[in-house]
Amino acid sequence: MLRYSGPLSDAHQSYLRTRVQEIVGTSLRMPSEAEERADPVRADEVYETVGAVLRARARSLRGTQLVAEHNGEYGFRRNALGLRRLALAVCLISLAGLAAVAVWATMSDEPVSVSAIVMWSVMTIADIGMLTFWFAVVRPGWVETAAWEYARQLYETAAVSEVGNTIG
Protein backbone atom coordinates (compact mmCIF):
# COMPACT_ATOMS: atom_id res chain seq x y z
CA MET A 1 0.00 0.00 0.00
CA LEU A 2 2.95 2.31 0.49
CA ARG A 3 4.27 1.76 -3.03
CA TYR A 4 3.75 4.61 -5.42
CA SER A 5 2.22 2.11 -7.82
CA GLY A 6 -0.12 0.90 -5.06
CA PRO A 7 -3.93 1.04 -4.95
CA LEU A 8 -4.30 4.29 -2.99
CA SER A 9 -5.17 7.70 -4.35
CA ASP A 10 -2.34 10.23 -4.38
CA ALA A 11 -3.87 12.19 -1.49
CA HIS A 12 -4.45 9.11 0.67
CA GLN A 13 -1.00 7.75 -0.09
CA SER A 14 0.65 11.09 0.69
CA TYR A 15 -1.15 11.26 4.04
CA LEU A 16 -0.33 7.65 4.86
CA ARG A 17 3.34 7.95 3.94
CA THR A 18 3.68 11.14 5.99
CA ARG A 19 1.97 9.59 9.02
CA VAL A 20 3.98 6.37 8.75
CA GLN A 21 7.20 8.39 8.53
CA GLU A 22 6.17 10.19 11.75
CA ILE A 23 5.61 6.84 13.46
CA VAL A 24 8.85 5.14 12.38
CA GLY A 25 10.93 8.27 12.88
CA THR A 26 13.96 9.48 11.00
CA SER A 27 16.04 6.33 11.43
CA LEU A 28 14.04 4.66 8.64
CA ARG A 29 13.45 7.02 5.74
CA MET A 30 10.66 6.18 3.30
CA PRO A 31 11.94 5.97 -0.30
CA SER A 32 10.92 8.63 -2.78
CA GLU A 33 9.15 7.68 -5.99
CA ALA A 34 12.41 7.92 -7.94
CA GLU A 35 14.25 5.80 -5.34
CA GLU A 36 11.49 3.20 -5.44
CA ARG A 37 11.73 2.96 -9.23
CA ALA A 38 15.53 2.84 -9.17
CA ASP A 39 15.78 0.15 -6.47
CA PRO A 40 12.45 -1.63 -5.88
CA VAL A 41 14.11 -4.37 -3.78
CA ARG A 42 15.49 -1.79 -1.34
CA ALA A 43 12.11 -0.03 -1.26
CA ASP A 44 10.37 -3.32 -0.46
CA GLU A 45 12.84 -3.91 2.38
CA VAL A 46 11.89 -0.54 3.86
CA TYR A 47 8.18 -1.25 3.41
CA GLU A 48 8.57 -4.66 5.09
CA THR A 49 10.32 -3.02 8.04
CA VAL A 50 7.63 -0.36 8.24
CA GLY A 51 5.00 -3.10 8.25
CA ALA A 52 6.76 -4.80 11.16
CA VAL A 53 6.83 -1.52 13.10
CA LEU A 54 3.13 -0.93 12.42
CA ARG A 55 2.20 -4.49 13.45
CA ALA A 56 4.08 -4.10 16.73
CA ARG A 57 2.44 -0.72 17.30
CA ALA A 58 -1.04 -2.09 16.52
CA ARG A 59 -0.59 -4.77 19.18
CA SER A 60 0.02 -2.10 21.84
CA LEU A 61 -2.93 0.17 20.99
CA ARG A 62 -6.41 -0.11 22.39
CA GLY A 63 -9.19 -0.48 19.86
CA THR A 64 -7.15 -2.30 17.24
CA GLN A 65 -8.82 -5.71 17.66
CA LEU A 66 -10.03 -5.40 14.08
CA VAL A 67 -6.42 -5.55 12.91
CA ALA A 68 -6.00 -8.85 14.75
CA GLU A 69 -9.25 -10.18 13.29
CA HIS A 70 -8.20 -9.31 9.74
CA ASN A 71 -4.77 -10.81 10.38
CA GLY A 72 -6.44 -14.02 11.56
CA GLU A 73 -8.68 -14.12 8.48
CA TYR A 74 -5.70 -13.54 6.19
CA GLY A 75 -3.70 -16.25 7.99
CA PHE A 76 -6.58 -18.72 7.72
CA ARG A 77 -6.96 -18.11 4.00
CA ARG A 78 -3.21 -18.25 3.34
CA ASN A 79 -2.96 -21.55 5.22
CA ALA A 80 -6.03 -22.93 3.43
CA LEU A 81 -4.41 -22.12 0.09
CA GLY A 82 -1.30 -23.97 1.24
CA LEU A 83 -3.43 -27.03 2.06
CA ARG A 84 -5.54 -26.82 -1.10
CA ARG A 85 -3.87 -29.66 -3.05
CA LEU A 86 -3.94 -31.98 -0.05
CA ALA A 87 -7.59 -31.13 0.69
CA LEU A 88 -8.60 -31.72 -2.94
CA ALA A 89 -6.81 -35.08 -2.89
CA VAL A 90 -8.54 -36.09 0.36
CA CYS A 91 -11.95 -35.09 -1.06
CA LEU A 92 -11.34 -37.09 -4.25
CA ILE A 93 -10.12 -40.14 -2.33
CA SER A 94 -13.15 -39.88 -0.07
CA LEU A 95 -15.48 -39.73 -3.06
CA ALA A 96 -13.74 -42.73 -4.58
CA GLY A 97 -14.20 -44.59 -1.31
CA LEU A 98 -17.89 -43.71 -1.21
CA ALA A 99 -18.24 -44.87 -4.82
CA ALA A 100 -16.52 -48.15 -3.91
CA VAL A 101 -18.94 -48.63 -1.01
CA ALA A 102 -21.88 -47.99 -3.34
CA VAL A 103 -20.56 -50.55 -5.83
CA TRP A 104 -19.94 -53.06 -3.04
CA ALA A 105 -23.46 -52.52 -1.66
CA THR A 106 -25.08 -53.15 -5.04
CA MET A 107 -23.02 -56.31 -5.65
CA SER A 108 -23.42 -57.74 -2.16
CA ASP A 109 -26.14 -60.14 -1.19
CA GLU A 110 -26.42 -58.39 2.15
CA PRO A 111 -29.39 -56.02 2.49
CA VAL A 112 -28.49 -52.35 2.91
CA SER A 113 -30.38 -50.45 5.57
CA VAL A 114 -32.11 -47.18 4.85
CA SER A 115 -30.02 -45.50 7.55
CA ALA A 116 -26.81 -46.61 5.78
CA ILE A 117 -28.06 -45.23 2.46
CA VAL A 118 -28.98 -41.93 4.15
CA MET A 119 -25.58 -41.76 5.86
CA TRP A 120 -23.69 -42.45 2.60
CA SER A 121 -25.83 -39.89 0.77
CA VAL A 122 -25.14 -37.22 3.40
CA MET A 123 -21.43 -38.04 3.32
CA THR A 124 -21.40 -37.79 -0.48
CA ILE A 125 -23.22 -34.44 -0.47
CA ALA A 126 -20.86 -33.11 2.23
CA ASP A 127 -17.84 -34.37 0.30
CA ILE A 128 -19.03 -32.74 -2.91
CA GLY A 129 -19.62 -29.51 -0.98
CA MET A 130 -16.10 -29.59 0.45
CA LEU A 131 -14.65 -30.43 -2.95
CA THR A 132 -16.50 -27.46 -4.42
CA PHE A 133 -15.23 -25.17 -1.63
CA TRP A 134 -11.61 -26.25 -2.02
CA PHE A 135 -11.75 -26.12 -5.81
CA ALA A 136 -13.85 -22.99 -6.44
CA VAL A 137 -13.32 -20.78 -3.37
CA VAL A 138 -9.80 -21.42 -2.11
CA ARG A 139 -7.81 -19.60 -4.76
CA PRO A 140 -5.01 -17.00 -4.75
CA GLY A 141 -7.51 -14.16 -5.32
CA TRP A 142 -9.46 -15.20 -2.21
CA VAL A 143 -6.26 -14.92 -0.16
CA GLU A 144 -5.28 -11.64 -1.81
CA THR A 145 -8.62 -10.08 -0.88
CA ALA A 146 -8.00 -10.89 2.79
CA ALA A 147 -4.40 -9.66 2.54
CA TRP A 148 -5.51 -6.27 1.21
CA GLU A 149 -8.19 -5.96 3.90
CA TYR A 150 -5.62 -6.74 6.58
CA ALA A 151 -3.17 -4.23 5.09
CA ARG A 152 -5.86 -1.54 4.93
CA GLN A 153 -6.81 -2.14 8.53
CA LEU A 154 -3.17 -2.15 9.65
CA TYR A 155 -2.42 1.11 7.88
CA GLU A 156 -5.56 2.70 9.30
CA THR A 157 -3.91 2.31 12.70
CA ALA A 158 -1.36 4.84 11.46
CA ALA A 159 -4.05 7.48 12.00
CA VAL A 160 -4.46 6.47 15.66
CA SER A 161 -2.60 8.60 18.18
CA GLU A 162 -0.47 6.86 20.80
CA VAL A 163 -1.19 9.52 23.44
CA GLY A 164 -3.22 7.91 26.20
CA ASN A 165 -3.91 4.89 24.05
CA THR A 166 -1.28 2.36 25.04
CA ILE A 167 -2.19 -0.67 27.07
CA GLY A 168 -0.36 -1.13 30.29
Contacts 24+ apart (CB under 8 A), 89-92: 91/127, 91/130, 91/131, 91/134, 92/131
β-bridge mates for residue 61, sequence order = 166
At residue 61, φ and ψ (nearest 5 deg) are: -100, 140
Say which residue, 131 or 66, is predicted with more confidence.
131
131 exposure class (CB count in 10 Å sphere: 0-12, 13-18, 19+): middle
CB 72 within 8 A of CB 24: no
Residue 140 pLDDT exceeds 80: yes
pLDDT band at 161 (very low <50, low <70, confident <90, very high): low
β-bridge mates for residue 166, sequence order = 61
Q: Rounded to an integer, what distance in angstroms lies between the CA atom of residue 98 and that of residue 146?
A: 35
Residue 48 pLDDT exceeds 60: yes
pLDDT band at 81 (very low <50, low <70, confident <90, very high): very high
